[in-house]
Amino acid sequence: MRQAADHITRRAPEDVMRLKRLGSLHQCRLSFMRVLTRRMARENWKFTRPVFNINADGVGNAVYTAQGPDRAYSLVAFAHDLPPEMRSDRVIATAWDATFTLFDGVPDAADIQRLSQNVPLQEAGRVSGREISVSRANRSVRLWAHFVDALAAGQQPDQEKIDAVGYLMRTTAVYGSGKLGASDREGIADREEMAVPFQAEMLSVFLTRTFVRDLVQHVANAKGGDQAVALDPNIARQLGIGNSTGLGMAPFIVNHPVLFNNWIMVREEAIARVRALKSASADERDVFTSLLQRSAKSVDQWRSEHPIQIKKLNELKADLKLLNAYLSGGALAGDAPWDKLMNWAATALTEEGQELVASLMLEPYGDLVDGLTTCMADSNKEAFVIDGAATIAQTRALIKDSFGWAFDTDWTEKENQARAWYVSEEKLEPRLGERFEEPIAEYEQPLAPARDAVAAFNALASYDADQPIAEFLLQHPEHRHTIRRAQISQIAPYGEIRDNTISASVLPIDMLRAKLSFFGATRFDPRSDRWVRICMYAGAPYPDELTHENADLWVYPEVAQ
């Protein structure tokens, strides 16, 4: 019987919800990709490829079906002949190497025909409630050509080239939740396999990876004929699906405070549960140290050309040396080992190292933490309803509690309000502009909750403490979003970023990484302070290989013994 120590409280929001820490989060066993692969293996999902209508040039369509216990989902893929000059990862692109939709069920010929006239158009097309997500991808041109040429010539691809990129295609968008006419999240939320957030999108990417493997093999076979060889399965497993993510994702965690709170709170609760353990068994210690070694290999394989990430990687490598030295003294064999480890890491390691430790600590304890994933969705529809009867005094207290740090910021200083979030007219996508250099202030989106909280707090000062907040909002509707956020904070203590999202020094990539870490992404490679490339499912088994034994720890590369 596992014994717990005295109750360990979750880390405080004022420590966890800083952008620098959020921008240092790593994938863990709570991440959505791993939740999905564990489920599919546990439930013995079946996978088929009922359609593969692709010509020798790699153009055509294919269908990949995943059959779960209760229902099936099918990736409908369209491969295109894209001229090089049209290939772009930007959201304004109008053509891609491949486009996809996740179909609810198994499509017939009429469905595929309908989808062929819409999915390749992406934003210019429309899908229906039978479709759950829509996505697109571009080739990594040089690695794709290398794979085709090598396999066609009877050779395996070069390992160094694989290590430098890590994927043959990268998605530039995976849309769900009603985008382009697809099914809304509410339409699938009550399905057990979709209860955890983003499971449909993760399934789409999982099947996309299989399509990419099959497509490059098909093109190589067509080119090489009898001389062509099959791609080594060990090499294929190294390949993930890349992703280019920009500012469109950054406002998500601001606009979804309850959902993001649930993600963070579940992770913090899992960490607290492990920290509370009085001891770690030999097997549990072995799991941790083994995955630490495998993580070190992953860090060595992590490539980036951005100075911010290069610095963080160098610091993380130094952290790993300190961590190994700490563990060499048998620290995990003593009392309350995980609590002591976290306390040591808090002063000895950078945020990047601390959060890697926090993620790795969870790995030996699936039975203790995996059940928490059912709490990560947001089903609280009442949270956004403002309680108009709450008093002015109660509201000011809530604002102070959630945004107390913001009152130390001089919001009249230009550097503290240098940026403004707005939506571009052309693509209806979020953008971050320079407030004092561009005429954008009148188009600003409410994505500076800290500044707005201070403004609302000051505006409330002239009202009687016992007045209902409804009277204030009748006169000042511009503060509704702040009052709503203040009331939400009562159920979502981790719902607010404790940093200035419009300062001259804000790094949107911190917000991107926070969200992508919960997806389970690896190899974060910022290309500026506003967009990042990542890899998804690198190391994972393909559908025909998926078993209970390999369904989870695939994210950690194997280390030669």
* List of E strands, 105-188: 131-139, 167-175
Alpha-helical segments (H) within 492-558: 508-519
Both 143 and 199 in a single domain?
A: yes
Both 233 and 308 in a single domain?
A: no
Both 52 and 178 in a single domain?
A: yes
Both 348 and 418 in a single domain?
A: no
Average pLDDT over the chain reads 94
Instruction: Report pLDDT digits (tens) over 242-257.
Output: 998 888 888 899 999 9
Both 172 and 90 in a single domain?
A: yes
Token readout for 52 is 């593969």
Both 102 and 218 in a single domain?
A: yes
In a domain, 503, yes or no: no
Residue 127 has what pLDDT? 95
In a domain, 542, yes or no: no
Average pLDDT over residues 317-323: 97
Instruction: Report pLDDT digits (tens) over 529-550.
Output: 888 999 999 999 999 999 999 9
Average pLDDT over residues 137-153: 96
Return the closest-CA partner of residue 373 out of 287, 270, 261.
270
Average pLDDT over residues 145-162: 97
Residue 404 to residues 313, 419, 461, 525: CA-CA distances in angstroms? 33, 22, 16, 33
In a domain, 36, yes or no: yes
In a domain, 277, yes or no: yes
Alpha-helical segments (H) within 43-106: none
Instruction: Report pLDDT digits (tens) over 23-41.
Output: 999 999 999 999 999 999 9
Cα separation, 258 vs 248, in Å, equals: 19
Average pLDDT over residues 555-560: 87
Instruction: Report pLDDT digits (tens) over 38-67.
Output: 999 999 999 999 999 999 999 999 999 999
Domain's final residue, options 488, 518, 543: 488
Residue 82 has what pLDDT? 83
- The answer on pLDDT for 6 being more than 80 is no
% of the chain residues with pLDDT over 70: 98
In a domain, 506, yes or no: no
In a domain, 529, yes or no: no
Both 283 and 202 in a single domain?
A: no
In a domain, 558, yes or no: no
Cα separation, 262 vs 515, in Å, equals: 12
Return the closest-CA partner of residue 496 out of 382, 355, 402, 377.
402
Average pLDDT over residues 10-16: 96
Token readout for 203 is 């399934």
Both 468 and 391 in a single domain?
A: yes
Both 83 and 208 in a single domain?
A: yes
pTM, two decimals, is 0.95
Confidence of residue 2 (pLDDT cuts 50, 70, 90): low
Both 53 and 185 in a single domain?
A: yes
Cα separation, 153 vs 395, in Å, equals: 70
Residue 371 to residues 29, 31, 83: CA-CA distances in angstroms? 11, 12, 47
Instruction: Return the number of other C-beta atoms located less than 10 Å from residue 50's C-beta.
Output: 11
The type of residue at 424 is: S
Residue 311 belongs to what domain range?
Answer: 13-22+255-378
Token readout for 484 is 């709503």
Contact 99, 120 (CB under 8 A): yes
Both 366 and 240 in a single domain?
A: no
Total domains in the chain come to 3
Q: Is 99 left (phi over 0), alpha (psi -120 to 50) or beta?
A: beta
Average pLDDT over residues 229-254: 92
Token readout for 19 is 């952008």
Q: Indicate the DSSP class of residue 277.
A: B
Contact 421, 511 (CB under 8 A): no
Contacts of 404 (CB under 8 A, 6+ apart): none
Domain's final residue, options 378, 396, 430: 378
Average pLDDT over residues 494-501: 96
In a domain, 39, yes or no: yes
Contacts of 402 (CB under 8 A, 6+ apart): 453, 485, 486, 489, 496
Residue 90 has what pLDDT? 64
Average pLDDT over residues 285-294: 97
Both 183 and 100 in a single domain?
A: yes
Domain's final residue, options 488, 515, 549: 488
